[in-house]
Structure 1
Amino acid sequence: PALVLDPRATLVNLRPASQCFNSEEAKSLSRACNEWRCMSSTADIPFFLVSVGLDSIVTLRHLREWEACQNNVQKVLFGFYDPCHLPSNPGWPLRNYLAYIYSRWGLGKIHFFCYRENRGFAELGLSLVGEAEISLSPGWRNHQSMPNAVGWELKRGKKVSRCISLAKTMDPSRLAVSAADLNLKLMRWRTLPSLNLEILATTRCLLLGAGTLGCQVARMLMAWGVRKITLLDSGKVSMSNPLRQSLYVLDDCLNGGKFKAVAAVESLKRIFPAVEAEGLVMAIPMPGHPVHSQEESNILQDCRHLSDLINSHDAIFLLTDTRESRWLPSLLCASANKITINAALGFDSFLVMRHGSGPTGAIRSSQAETLNNMSASMGNLNLSSQNGSQRLGCYLCNDVVAPIDSTANRTLDQQCTVTRP
Structure 2
Amino acid sequence: MPFIDRVDARRRLAGRLRHLRGEDVVVLALPRGGVPVAFEVASALDAPLDVIVVRKLAVPVRPDRPRRGALAMGAVGEGDVLVLNEPIIRRENVSGAELAEIERQERAEVDRRTHRFRHDRPRLPLAGRTVVLIDDGISTGATARAACQVARAQGAARVVLAGPVCSPQSAAELRNEVDQLVCLEIGGPRGLVAQFYADFRSVSDEKVMDLLRRAERKESPAVGAAGDDEPRSDDEVEIPVGAVRLKGRLTVPEGAVGVVVFAHGSGSSRHSPRNRYVAGVLQQAGLATLLFDLLTPQEEPRQANVFDIELLGGRLTEVTGWVRRRPGCAGLPVEYFGASTGAGAALWAAAAADADIAAVVSRGGRPDLAGPRLGEVRAPTLLIVGEQDTRVLERNRRAEALMRGESRIAVIPSATHLFEEPGTLAAAAAAASAWFTEHLVPAAPSG
Bigger radius of gyration: 1
| Shorter-chain TM-score range | under 0.3
What TM-score, normalized to structure 1?
A: 0.22
What TM-score, normalized to structure 2?
A: 0.21
